[in-house]
Amino acid sequence: MTTAVAKDRPKAKERRRFPRFVLPSMYTGVEVRPMNSDKFQWQGHAYDISEGGMRFEVDEPIDPGTEIAVRIELPGAQNLAISERRPVYALADVVWVEQDDVEARGPVRMACNFKRFIVPGDRQRLRDRLESGRFSAAA
């Protein structure tokens, strides 16, 4: 029996609208709150991000379909102007939860799609930071 080599396989169609970038997870703080709360309830870290969403972890699973607000602290801001190093705020929908993490009872990885950015200029500031060359493109 022969096995097809990866180069012979048809490429899967890219579903993402925006390029995704890998973040140093321990240095990319995230705070999350459900829409029915005024304060951020969960803290964690982001693994990767794009203009359209991010993959992150917090200590408790959040059900897919839940609307959340997120606060993202991008790393490497110490050399930037104060206006460029502010956190990014967005409204998002949780789209998946890593079930193995739920069963392991530790930090839970999940992903969200951004619906809109809360603070004027946050989308452009996020885009500028991601395209600065400081972060690697995700596979």
pLDDT per residue of the chain (139 residues) written in tens, 0 to 9: 333 333 443 444 556 688 999 987 678 899 999 999 999 999 999 999 999 999 999 999 999 999 999 999 988 766 766 667 789 999 999 999 999 898 887 899 999 999 999 999 999 999 988 888 888 888 7
Question: Tell me, what's the pLDDT at 55?
Answer: 96
Are 49 and 138 contacting, i.e. CB atoms less than 8 angstroms apart? no
What domains are there in the chain, each with its CATH number?
A: 18-122 (2.40.10.220)
**Residue 125: in which H helix or E strand, if any?**
helix 122-130
Question: Tell me, what's the pLDDT at 110?
Answer: 97
**DSSP character string of 4-35:** --GGGSPPPPP--SS--EE--GGG-EEEEEET
Question: Residue 31 pairs with which residues in a beta bridge?
Answer: 43, 71
